[in-house]
């Protein structure tokens, strides 16, 4: 181990660009993790969402494209187009003290932006589903098909 530490300054001097790239990537990773810890909403795994559904009966909002929602969605979720998403909508607004879980097709869409809007509107329990419906399916959990319930 001490041999590695003695050769490290020489390596860094000979590979300055590589060392700088490593430092930038490390700082980016640390910054991303800090932002995730400090945001006021949490990301759930499919297992975590299952527990939340069983314990607290959250409001599930699917922000996927409607065609994707009809193909597959988490059972009990309601489709809301991102363009129509409004935290002050009467059905959403009455859930301020209930957990609200935002879902999209693959976990890379608009759920973060929608979660930020809910937090700003005063919602206290806001979650996103990591991996979206695709992550839910990969966890081999059941999906529903078709239109909004009710």
Contact (Cβ atoms closer than 8 angstroms) between residue 111 and residue 39: no
Least confident of 51-55, 70-74, 107-111, 129-133: 107-111
**Element housing 21 (H / E):** helix 16-38
Instruction: Dump pLDDT digits (tens) for 71-125.
Output: 999 999 999 988 888 888 888 888 888 999 999 999 887 899 999 999 999 898 9
| pLDDT value for 149 | 62
- pTM of this prediction exceeds 0.95: no
Q: Confidence class of residue 134 from pLDDT cuts 50, 70 and 90?
A: very high
């Amino acid at each position: 181990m001490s041999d590695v530490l003695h050769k490290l300054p020489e390596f860094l001097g000979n590979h300055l660009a590589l060392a700088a790239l490593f430092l930038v990537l490390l700082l980016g990773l640390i910054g991303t993790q800090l932002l995730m810890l400090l945001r006021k909403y949490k990301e759930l795994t499919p297992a975590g969402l299952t527990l939340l559904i069983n314990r607290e009966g959250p409001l599930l909002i699917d922000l996927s494209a409607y065609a994707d929602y009809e193909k597959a969605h988490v059972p009990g979720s309601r489709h809301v187009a991102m363009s129509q998403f409004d935290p002050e909508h009467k059905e959403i607004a009455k859930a301020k003290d209930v957990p609200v879980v935002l879902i999209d097709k693959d976990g890379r869409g608009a759920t973060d932006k929608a979660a930020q809007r809910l937090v700003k509107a005063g919602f206290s329990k806001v979650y996103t589903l990591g991996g979206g419906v695709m992550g839910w399916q990969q966890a081999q959990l059941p999906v529903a098909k078709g239109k909004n319930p009710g």
